[in-house]
Each structure stands twice: as structure tokens, then as C-alpha cells.
Structure 1
Amino acid sequence: MKETANLPESGSTGTNITPYRAIDRLREATVAGLGTGISPLALGMALIDWSAHLAAAPGKRMELAGKATQDAADLMARIVALTVGPKTQPTPQDPRFADPAWRNPPFSIWAHGFLLAQQWWQAATSDVPGVDPHHESLLSATAQQWLDMVSPATLPLTNPEVIVRSIETGGLSHLVGLRNWFEDMAHLAANRPPVGAERFRPGHEVATTPGKVVFRNHLIELIQYAPATETVLAEPVLLVPAWIMKYYVLDLSPENSLVRHLVQAGHTVFCLSWRNPTAEDRDLTLDDYRNLGIMAAVDAISAVLPGQRIHAAGYCLGGTLLAIAAAAMAGARDNRLATVSLLAAQTDFTEPGDLALFIDHDQLHRLESVMWQRGYLTADQMLGAFRFVRSNDLVWSRMVRAYLLGEREPMTDIAAWSADSTRMPYRMQGEYLRRLYLENALASDRLLAEGRPVALRNIRAPIFAVGTEDDYVTPWSSVYRLHCLCDAELTFVLADRDHLAGIIHDPAQPGSHYRIATRRRNGAYLYPEDWAQAAAMHSGSWWTAWTDWLAHHSTKKRQAPPDMGAAAAGYPPLGDAPGSYVRQR
């Protein structure tokens, strides 16, 4: 039977379901609680798909058998070479085996054997004729997980760095590592932030740019920041962060704050701070986030600065929501947005990054069942997907350093922020994942706002879009596909680094670069590779280029800073920044 009451467009995340469907939801949620993130059914279907097609591909099997024979001969030659004198060559490039100690036997043999096995399994799970690409990716990632677990770099008795450190410290490194493990388990059991995060408190060490909360509703607090210049540009800037984490990623340490950079450049800056939803908010929808979030903020800014158009900028999921709101406003002939800036934000989900591994009908049903039972999704569950795909970087290497070598990575403002997550309401997050990730409804004009289709091509305000070279969350080629979806003037920036460091990167820090080019309205489309070759390369941070772009699209005459809030219009200051929502747990 179908769920029929109070349904979103997808028809799969409503709360009033039949008892029969409730049984299925409860079973799926219970099974999911015992797993590690990947649906057993999805993995089983991938395994059946792969094994059946591999069995029907004698050529592929012969190729793998030949590679296995060649790899075994290669490894045996290295073992024999140790007994007859020639020195072994360094192992192939892998960050886990970068230390010079890995070049000495027997560690060099173990590392080389592991890398050969890794390459073989990569070949075995790739390019099998007829296998569904999603199943191929899922199986390949799972195989890599098992390999990383048994890597010689992960095991204490086969890692020369661990052995040397143990000898140098007389075994003290193991005691320190054990202490680190107990500390982490205690913090995890008590649902406390990781060790060291307490040194980055909102309003004290981070989120310190002066300002006032000038509006609050059930979903957001709107912060207006105090001016830092005698005159300001007439058009204010509205920042829309992702709702999956706290807003202050845009206002980290003073030397690493995009908010502070904008204020010092002469902008009047507003920023949304999302409320941390609870189970009672389970029925909030994606449209609620648009209306109670972005549209409520736009209305408040219009009251504080009557008649002024707004430079709106969104980061990650906040950028996607901003694109939806901007397109809906354009379709309704609401021209209050002067420009739209999308920072590492997707509008076309054809290439959704590493999260695609966890988005299919089976796994989304599993995730929806977990959210149905709890009323929300925690950010840790979402971040666990990325840890699964990038376990070598995000899990095993950190565990080796903290627990086997007895060294903790220094806590930074970004690391502390990434542990300060928020929850996502059941219905809204289900709509977001199903309609955007699974169905790609925004790119195909099938997403509705206020009952009307959202068409990105309706946006006529100039757009500034940023992608980053090493982004595993929103690949830059996916961000770049906005060129295919709208006809507005579009300035695109390809920054270095990743999804976080590429966006939150102060101009004072050396060593960065970016590419930038502008496509005029209704201009010709270039493929991403051609664009990257043609775009001008600049050193430094793209922040400076963005503030110049905002100034170019602003009124030339500067004016005195506005008052904080607008008490006469019903928007009085309600308290100092960073507000109260940012402190919710």
C-alpha cells in the first residue's frame, strides 16, 4: 500500500503510514542500526551483478589470472633479490608508505605485496563487461575497505614507523596511544566533541566578528554584522551556510573568516544561523527551509535596508537551497537579488561525488527508515559515508597516528567546526536526497516551489560560482554544469584544495591559486577541460576576486553604515552574535 497522507513530491517520506509499512520501516531501521552504513541488500545485489558478469566474461578472467601470475612473479623476484644482493626499489607512491623505513626489507616486501593486491582488486572490480556502474563503484569501495583494514601500515607488527617509535620511547608510545583511545571512547560515549575542540568556542575563539541577531524564527537566527569601515557599499551581502553544520564555518578564527573579510571590504553582511532541529521538527520540508530560511532572511533585510537589492551567497547545501530560492524568486518576478554566488554548491547532481555511492533506491529507503524512527538524521551518519569512501585518509591513518604512534593531530578551527554538527529533519532530508540526488529534479525543472516548477534558467542576476580542484563532496565538474542550466552572466572560479580549505582560505595565506573566467549572458558553452585550459590562472585566494566582483555589481556611491536592525519595522536587535542557535546541541 502507498503512503498517502501529507506526502512530499516523491511519495516516500510521509509520516502517516499504514501499520504494514511501519513494520517494514521498523525492521529496516533496526537492521541499519546494526550495520556500518552500506545496505546489505545493496551490497548483495552488487556482488551478484559483479560475480554473474565476471563468470560470463572469460576474457576478463584470463586478464585477471595473467595479472595475478605477473604480480606473483614480481613479488617473488623481489624476495629472491634480497638473497643475491641487489637492493630493492622503493615501493610505488602511497602516502602510507612514504617513510624511508618502508624501503627496507621485510617492510618493503609487505608494502609492495599489499600494493599489488590493491591494484589487482581494483582491476577485478572495474571494467567487468555488463556490470552496473553504481554496483561497480560500491563493490570497489567495499573491497578497498577490507584491504585498508589489513594494510601493513595499519597493523602494529608490520609498520616500521610504529616499531621504531616503540623502541625509541621504550613502549611509552603505546601507553599514550591507549590513553588517547580511552579519551576518544569516553568523549564518544558521552556525546561530547573530540579532544581539543573545547579550545574553539563560538563567540570566544571562533565566530567572533561583532554583530547582532536581528531576526529569529523557528528555523533561523539572522545575524547582522557591525561595520568595519566608515562607509559601506549600498547593497548588503546575505550568506547562506549549509544546514548540516553550524554557520560559523564562514566566521572561523579572525584570520580565517570570510565574514570578517567581507566586512573589512566595506560590505554590510548578514548571515543565517540554522536551528538544530529535534524529533518534533520531523515534518519540516525542503520548502520550509526555503521559506523560513532564505525568504524570511530576505524579507528581514528588505525591512532593515528598504529598497536595496541583495548580494546572496550560499555555501555547499546552502548554495543549492539558494539556487532554488533564486530561481523561484525570478519565476515570481521578485528581483530583490542583485547577484547570486554559489560556493562549492551543486545544481546538477549527475556527478554527485562520493555520496553517490550511498544513493540508490534501496539505500535511500534504508536511510529514510532510520530517519522515520528517530525523526531526524544526524550529521555523523552523513559524514560516515565520506569516511567509508575515504577511510585511508579519514580513519585508518588517523587511528595509526593517534593510537599506535601516540600522536594526536593538532586540533584546528576547521576540525573543531566539523565536529559541531546539526540534525536534519526526516521529511526535509528525505526530499533533498530523493528529489535532488536520486532524481536530479532541480536540473530537469521538475522540482516545485509553491506548487510551481523551479527553473534555473529564469535567474537573470549575475552569478559567481566556485568549485575546488580536490572536492570529493561536490566535484568541480559537477558545479561547473550550472553553465548548462542557466543563461545568466556566469563567472566561474576553480580554486585549489578541497571542499573546505578551497573555500575557507584567507588571502594572507601563501601558496594558493585559482582560475577564473566569465561567460557573458547567453554565451557559448565550453567543456570543463577546455575551460580549465583557457581560464586565466592567478595566485592567491579567490576571496579578493570575489569582493572585486561584488563591488563591480554594486552601486558605485558608498554610504554611511546602516543601523543594526530596524526596530520600527519589527526587527529590533535581539542579542549579540553569534546568537543562541549556534550553541544548541
Structure 2
Amino acid sequence: MTDTTDQPDQLTQMFRQQVEAAQTMMAPFAGGAMLPQVGSDEMEQWTAVATNLQAQWAQFQSEAMQRAQDGGPMAGWMDPAQMMTLAQGWAAQWQKMLDPQSQMKAWDDGVKVWQAALGKAMPNADASEPAELPHSDKRFKDEKWRGHPAYILIHQTYLMIAEKARELVDTMPGLDEDKREQMRFFSEAMVDAVSPANFAVTNPVVLQRTIETGGQNLIKGMEHFLNDLRRGQLTHTDANAFKLGENIAVTPGKVVHETPIYQLIQYTPTTDKVLETPLLIFPPWINRFYILDLNEKKSFVRWALEQGISVFMVSWKSADTSMAEVIWDDYVRAQIEAIDHVRERLDVEAVHAIGYCVAGTTLAATLSLLVQRGGADKVKSATFFTAQVDFEKAGELLNFVDDTQIAALEKMTTDGYVDGRVMAATFNMLRGTDLIWNYVVNNYLLGEDYPAFDLLHWNGDVTNLPAKWHQSYLKDLYRDNKLVQPGAIEVDGTPIDLTKVKTPTYIQAGKEDHIAPAESVWRLQDHFAGPVKFVLAGSGHIAGVVNPPEAKKYQFWTNENEAESLADFVAGADEHPGSWWPNWLEWIKSHGSDKVPAKGKRKPGGKGDTVIEDAPGRYVMSR
């Protein structure tokens, strides 16, 4: 057994030695200043603005805590019993870390970081490039983070502590893997929140901007901050830069059908002849449909029209009190109704259907229902954009579907629907550094103007969700994974069995998708009985889908051989540069290339054709 009686003295001696070493290394910088010299008037102005910001934030925190105590929308994700269990786990880990040997190791690790950081900050006339620091992160890439040893110590120490926090979760005893993954997620969220980049006094880029502008950046940032508090949502882009139907969602078309849940848009053809079988697109009702019609250069709709396809788009209504009783069955029935309406309108036997994200999940159930009711031939082919049916590997969103968190979400219900801002905040949390804290720094601390970015505008254009649908979706699909259990779910009185679906299927997944992970999307083909083509696209949930050929961005992978897993698929896949859209078009044409003249009701709003209004319609305008 190791004798530990003299270890406190060893730690004391080590501390003294390392302090002396740090003092020695700091000596060359003793006369340096962390900030440029400023006059008293400017510093007074900066202090006043900073104090104001701090007071406002403290008030907001107080209000949030009160709402949490009242069980309101800001209530925590975990109940007291869970929090106590996790706290005990943390305490056990910290106690373990406080034994003498662990203390010495932790101290030694910290000293190494400090020594390396300070040592590499020392002037070196022989070095042509800055020395590499022990830890790196894109949040600290600006050279100002290396401009003074104090800033090096701040961000390098933070990154070291973040690393230790991750190790703590990974080694915490008494947790099953699901709970451990949940702890990883929320621990990472907390670590991101306390980054020194997020605070004016510890961010040299912000401090420099403050000196340069006399604090005007913080005054402007306060305006942004308060406006976001008023609207209850983080702003990513200039709200006045885009207007539906004018410079976004501008592809010409008509609303040709309407129900209390959706409008059906038919787009005006741009070719003299079109494929006989039309295309019907079901976008997710979690977002607005115009992600597929952002502008002329990015629009999947416009591109499909140019390829000679008759295109229909469903525009879902953002939920309000009138949709309080809407459940998943209603969305399945709506898809079948839309399919039948297009068939009747154009007098065709079938449609090509696309389901994006949650609408793709629903399309799978729709196909099963059609099979069992003798209507499988109504859909000639089905395409799935980043859609899941098997939720066992559904990724980070699984961190939000235990009973406690579902109950917390239920408390956020307003008049039968879930405010779209709740879902937006959830999705932002999945990429907190990029979608939350990056904008906190840019908008609130640096006081930068909002960019005019159509994709970010769409991302912030939230939709409300029917509460009953939302609850059952989280419980039945995400939590209990019932959709892939034959007969476990009924829709409109009919048990759903995906193994009966024989419709030719094209599945697109995003290699870096964090909402519908590629491994989860891959599993869709395991549950269908028909022919399936799987394509893995570069990028993620949005950019992996919205990737027009003219952009010449990213790549995609195909594999004509049998593959047992996504890893096997990738190992034997052929990589192709650019967009996967032409590959999809070739596949669509392989299921029928006959063309018909683009006249009559193929041109919506023509002579004798009754339509409701111009695209993009009223439903997408509603807030």
C-alpha cells in the first residue's frame, strides 16, 4: 500500500514550485497590457453599458427561476428524484477525484496546460509560426486569444476543464447508457454556456470592439437582446430582408385545394411537355415548406419543373386552437387525400411521392395503410428525405423523450398546441455552439448587424404543432419505437405493418445529419419489402437535401452491392462530386418516362380551372 501521510506536504511543495515557475514564465510579459489604454470617459461609458446589461440579465434570470418554481414553461427537464440520483453520482466522482493520488494527477494535468500555454506564448525569435497550444477550438481561433498570456490561460484552462467534465460523465457509476448519453448532452450544453467566449470581460475580441466603438457595440447588443426576449426567440437573421412571394418562395403556382390542415399548391410548368406521373411533395409540418423553394438558385421545386415534372406541394397549417384535437391519424389521412386529389385532378393512376423528415415517417405509415386498403398502386414511387421509421438510433433528440421531459413539454402546451419557439429552441440546442452561443457573441456582445440569409430566415420561421400529435409522436415513435413493430400502432383503425410495403423506394440520408442520423435513416430499408435505393449525401439535414447541381457543392455516395449496415455501404461506396438530385431524377424516370403536353389542368389557373389563390398561399403566411 502506498504511504500517503506525507502527500499534503508534497502537494504544498508542488504548488509552490508551480507558482514560482508560472511567475518566471510571466516575467517577460509583466509590462504588457491586456487591453489598449483608454481614457477615463470611454471606460466609464463601457462600465455603464456593461452594468446595464448585467442588471437586465439578472432580472431575466430571476423571472426564469420564478417561472420554474411555479412549474411554468422554464421548468427543468428532470424531476427531483432524477436530479438527486445524478447529484449523488457527481458527488461520488468528485470524492474519488479528491483522493490524494487523483488530486496530484488533476493538478499535474492543469500545470502542464498552464506551462504549455505560457511557454508557447513566450516570444520566440526562431519561430516562423505561432506554436501549437495544448487544446484547440474554433471559438478561440482569433489571434487576440493568443495576444496576452492571460487570455491563453483563460481559454486553455476552460478547454481543459471541459475535457475533464466529459471524462467525469464517461466514468460516472450507476448510470445506464441512455442516461449517460443524456448526461453527456446536457453537460456539454452547460460547458458550452460557460465558455469564456460568451462573456464580454473574458473575450478579448469583444473587449477590443468595445474600446474601438466606445461601448456602442454593447448598447446595440442590448437592443438585440431585449428584442429577442420580447419575441421569445433567438434572432439569426434580418427579419425584414425577406418577404414570402416576393424574394423567397417565389416559384409561380396556384393553391388548388384546401382543408383545415393543409393547402395544396400546384406549380406552373416551365416545359412544353411533362412526365405523365406527377410529383407530390410532403414537407415536414415542423417547418415551413419553402425550404424546398428558397430562391431561384436553391429551389428544388424550380429545378424539378425544369426537368419536366408536374410538381405539387403540401403547405401545412401552423397549429392553432382549431387543431387541438389533431393527431397523427389526421396527417396520414391528409396525405391520402392529397394523393387522391392530385390523381383526380390530372386524371392519372398514381403519383411519385416525397416525404421529408417527419412527413417521410408519416408517408411510410401512409404506404402501409394504402397496401392494406387495396390502394398501393396510387403511389408509383416513394422518396424519403432524411426520414426515420426506426428510432432506436435516432441520435441526440432521444435525450428529450424520457417521461419527465415529455411531461415538461406537455406543460408548455398552449390551447392545444405547442408553440413553435419551443421546438426551435430544442433544435438549436442540438448545435448550441453554432446556433446559440455564436449568435449570443455576434448579436449581443459584438453588436453586429443581422445578416440577410434565406436559410437562417427559414430556420427562424417557426410553426406551432398540435399538442396531441406531438405527445404521441414522442412517446410512440421516439421513446417506444412502435412504428417498426407490426401492429403496434393503428391509424384510422388499421394496424400499421411496414413490412407489407413494396413500393419502389429512394432513401436519401445526410452524412452529418444530427436530427435524423444517417444510421437511423439507413434502417428504413430494413422494414420495407420492395426495391430500395439508398444514397448518402454530404452535409446534414438541410444542406444535404437542398444542394442544387449548379452549386457544385458537397458529394454523394452510392453502392450497388448488398450492404448489411451503413458502415458496409460506405466501405464499398462510390463517391460522386456535387448534387444527388440528377441521380434521383434518373431513378424517377426509370419508373416511367412517358410525357404528356403541359396543358389543361397541368397549367393551374388556366381557362375553366378553379383555383383558390396564388402560391405560396395563406397557410404559410400565418403566424
Q: Same fold (TM over 0.5)?
A: yes
SS in 2 for 1:31: coil
Which residues of 2 match residues 549-564 of structure 1 at below 5 A? 549-564=587-602
Matched, 1:47 2:86: yes
State the shift of 1:307 in Å.
3.2
Structure-1 residue corresponding to 2:565: 527
Is residue 46–residue 136 contact of structure 1 (8 Å, CA) maintained in 2? no
Q: 1:478 to 1:363 in 2, by over 3 A?
A: same
Structure-2 residue corresponding to 1:576: 614
Which residues of 2 match residues 46-445 of structure 1 at below 5 A? 47-48=86-87, 50-51=89-90, 54=93, 65=103, 68-78=106-116, 81=119, 89-104=132-147, 105-186=149-230, 188=231, 196-291=238-333, 293-334=334-375, 335-371=377-413, 374-445=415-486
Q: Aligned partner of 1:391: which letter?
A: G
State the shift of 1:317 in Å.
0.9
Count of residues in correspondence between the two structures: 548
Q: 1:566 to 1:582 in 2, by over 3 A?
A: closer
State the shift of 1:401 in Å.
1.2
State the shift of 1:91 in Å.
4.8
State the shift of 1:326 in Å.
1.2
Matched, 1:546 2:555: no
SS in 2 for 1:339: strand
Structure-2 residue corresponding to 1:460: 502
Structure-1 residue corresponding to 2:553: 511
Is residue 514–residue 537 contact of structure 1 (8 Å, CA) maintained in 2? yes
In structure 2, C-alpha distance between the alignment counterparts of 1:228 and 1:531, rounded to whole Å: 37
Q: Aligned partner of 1:34: which letter?
A: M
Q: What's the Cα RMSD here?
A: 3.0
Q: C-alpha offsets along residues 271-311 of structure 1, whole Å, 9 cap, x if unaligned?
A: 101112212321111001111x2011011011112233110
SS in 2 for 1:366: helix
SS in 1 for 2:365: helix
State the shift of 1:184 in Å.
3.6
Q: 1:161 to 1:278 in 2, by over 3 A?
A: same
Q: C-alpha offsets along residues 341-397 of structure 1, whole Å, 9 cap, x if unaligned?
A: 0101111101222211111122112222432x5311122112222333432221112
Q: 1:289 to 1:565 in 2, by over 3 A?
A: farther
Decide which structure has the larger Cα Rg and report it: 2
Matched, 1:33 2:73: yes
Q: Aligned partner of 1:415: which letter?
A: L
SS in 1 for 2:587: helix
Of residues 500-509 and 571-580 in structure 1, the stretch that sits farther from structure 2 once superposed is: 571-580
Q: Aligned partner of 1:93: which letter?
A: S
Of residues 195-204 and 500-509 in structure 1, the stretch that sits farther from structure 2 once superposed is: 195-204
Of residues 73-82 and 534-543 in structure 1, the stretch that sits farther from structure 2 once superposed is: 73-82
In structure 2, C-alpha distance between the alignment counterparts of 1:498 and 1:99, rounded to whole Å: 27
Q: Give the one of 483, 493, 512 matched to 2:525.
A: 483
Is residue 237–residue 453 contact of structure 2 (8 Å, CA) maintained in 1? no
Q: Aligned partner of 1:574: which letter?
A: I
Is residue 386–residue 521 contact of structure 2 (8 Å, CA) maintained in 1? yes
Is residue 352–residue 478 contact of structure 1 (8 Å, CA) maintained in 2? yes
In structure 2, C-alpha distance between the alignment counterparts of 1:428 and 1:109, rounded to whole Å: 50
Of residues 76-85 and 137-146 in structure 1, the stretch that sits farther from structure 2 once superposed is: 76-85
State the shift of 1:417 in Å.
1.3
TM-score of the superposed pair, with normalisation by structure 1: 0.86
State the shift of 1:96 in Å.
0.4
SS in 2 for 1:125: helix
Is residue 282–residue 376 contact of structure 1 (8 Å, CA) maintained in 2? yes
State the shift of 1:63 in Å.
9.2
Q: 1:130 to 1:526 in 2, by over 3 A?
A: same
Q: 1:553 to 1:410 in 2, by over 3 A?
A: same
TM-score of the superposed pair, with normalisation by structure 2: 0.81
In structure 2, C-alpha distance between the alignment counterparts of 1:64 and 1:374, rounded to whole Å: 53
State the shift of 1:64 in Å.
6.2
Q: Aligned partner of 1:401: which letter?
A: N
In structure 1, C-alpha distance between the alignment counterparts of 2:530 and 2:472, rounded to whole Å: 27
In structure 2, C-alpha distance between the alignment counterparts of 1:90 and 1:377, rounded to whole Å: 46
Is residue 465–residue 492 contact of structure 1 (8 Å, CA) maintained in 2? yes
Structure-2 residue corresponding to 1:20: none
Q: 1:78 to 1:431 in 2, by over 3 A?
A: same
In structure 2, C-alpha distance between the alignment counterparts of 1:130 and 1:423, rounded to whole Å: 38
Is residue 556–residue 579 contact of structure 2 (8 Å, CA) maintained in 1? yes
State the shift of 1:41 in Å.
4.0
Q: C-alpha offsets along residues 246-293 of structure 1, whole Å, 9 cap, x if unaligned?
A: 2111111121111111111100011101112212321111001111x2
Q: Aligned partner of 1:362: which letter?
A: T
Q: 1:287 to 1:112 in 2, by over 3 A?
A: same
Is residue 42–residue 363 contact of structure 1 (8 Å, CA) maintained in 2? no
SS in 1 for 2:412: helix
SS in 1 for 2:297: helix
Q: Aligned partner of 1:309: which letter?
A: A
In structure 1, C-alpha distance between the alignment counterparts of 2:538 and 2:589, rounded to whole Å: 24
Q: 1:561 to 1:381 in 2, by over 3 A?
A: same
Is residue 473–residue 499 contact of structure 1 (8 Å, CA) maintained in 2? yes
Q: 1:84 to 1:549 in 2, by over 3 A?
A: closer
In structure 2, C-alpha distance between the alignment counterparts of 1:436 and 1:242, rounded to whole Å: 16
Unaligned runs of 5+ in 1: 1-26
The percentage of aligned residue pairs carrying the same residue is: 30
In structure 2, C-alpha distance between the alignment counterparts of 1:83 and 1:207, rounded to whole Å: 51
Q: 1:449 to 1:149 in 2, by over 3 A?
A: closer
